[in-house]
Copies of this chain bind each other. A is one copy, B any other.
Amino acid sequence: MSSNIRVPQQERSIEKKNKIIQAGYELFSEVGYYGTNTVEIAKRAGVSTGIVYGYFEDKRDILICVLEIYIDKVYKPLAQIMERTSRPVDVRKLALAMIDKTIELHEQNAKLHNTLHSLATTDEAVNAQFISLENKITEQASKQLVKLGINPENITEKVHLAMNIVQSYAHETVFDSHNYIDYAKMKELVCNILVELLK
């Protein structure tokens, strides 16, 4: 029963719940969801196995909470950049800021990102969360750009596409796997594309 799950109101409890989520965050990042077991999560969080099930329905429930944290971590900084942008917009500068922040976020979360994305294939709730995240980002950015005077024609498609391109690029850069690629040059290309797209 979901009703048996503790909704921690005391500070200490919230702290403990967060510790477990944090432990899950780390372990899922390091060795994936299936490479992590509940005993390990408990150990890392510094609690007993049993109490984990005092705070979470099951292992998947921890994942869902980790996902929430992840989404917050990713969404907020990007939203902030958009919010803080004011007229007149320097699209190139804005693009650059978004790229750099996305890279930074990816550096911290790339492995978890992959793990979560793969689980989205089998878990509808996880998938739904991801979709909703993209919705939120696209919507917020679109509105803000229009407000800032960007041509509103097909703005949603443009922004969504821009987001994907930036994501792709950040992923590339972080994993830095292709040594024949000049990532600085590529960044410039990405910037150009974004500028062109939103002009």
The residue that A189 contacts in the complex, of B34, B134, B158, B181, with Cβ under 8 A, is: B158
Taking the complex as formed, is A35 at the interface, i.e. its CB lies under 8 A from any CB of chain B? yes
Q: In angstroms, how far is the closest chain B Cβ from the Cβ of A29?
A: 9
Taking the complex as formed, is A174 at the interface, i.e. its CB lies under 8 A from any CB of chain B? no
Q: Which residues of B contact A178 (CB under 8 A)?
A: 131, 134-135, 138, 160
Q: From A139, which residue of chain B is reached at the shortest CB distance?
A: B180
Interface SS of chain A: helix, strand, loop or mixed? Answer: helix
Q: Which residues of B contact A197 (CB under 8 A)?
A: 189, 193
Count of chain copies = 4
Evaluate contact between B154 and A161: CB separation under 8 angstroms: no
Distance in angstroms between the alpha carbons of A111 and B120 in the assembled complex:
9
The residue that A118 contacts in the complex, of B118, B154, B190, with Cβ under 8 A, is: B118
Q: In angstroms, how far is the closest chain B Cβ from the Cβ of A144?
A: 16
Q: How many residues of A contact B (CB 8 A)?
A: 43
The residue that A157 contacts in the complex, of B32, B119, B122, B182, with Cβ under 8 A, is: B182
Q: Which residues of B contact A161 (CB under 8 A)?
A: 165, 168-169, 186, 189-190, 193
Q: 20 pairs across A/B with beta carbons < 8 Å?
A: A32-B121, A32-B122, A115-B121, A135-B178, A135-B180, A138-B178, A154-B182, A156-B182, A157-B182, A157-B185, A157-B186, A160-B172, A160-B186, A161-B169, A161-B189, A161-B190, A161-B193, A164-B165, A189-B197, A193-B197
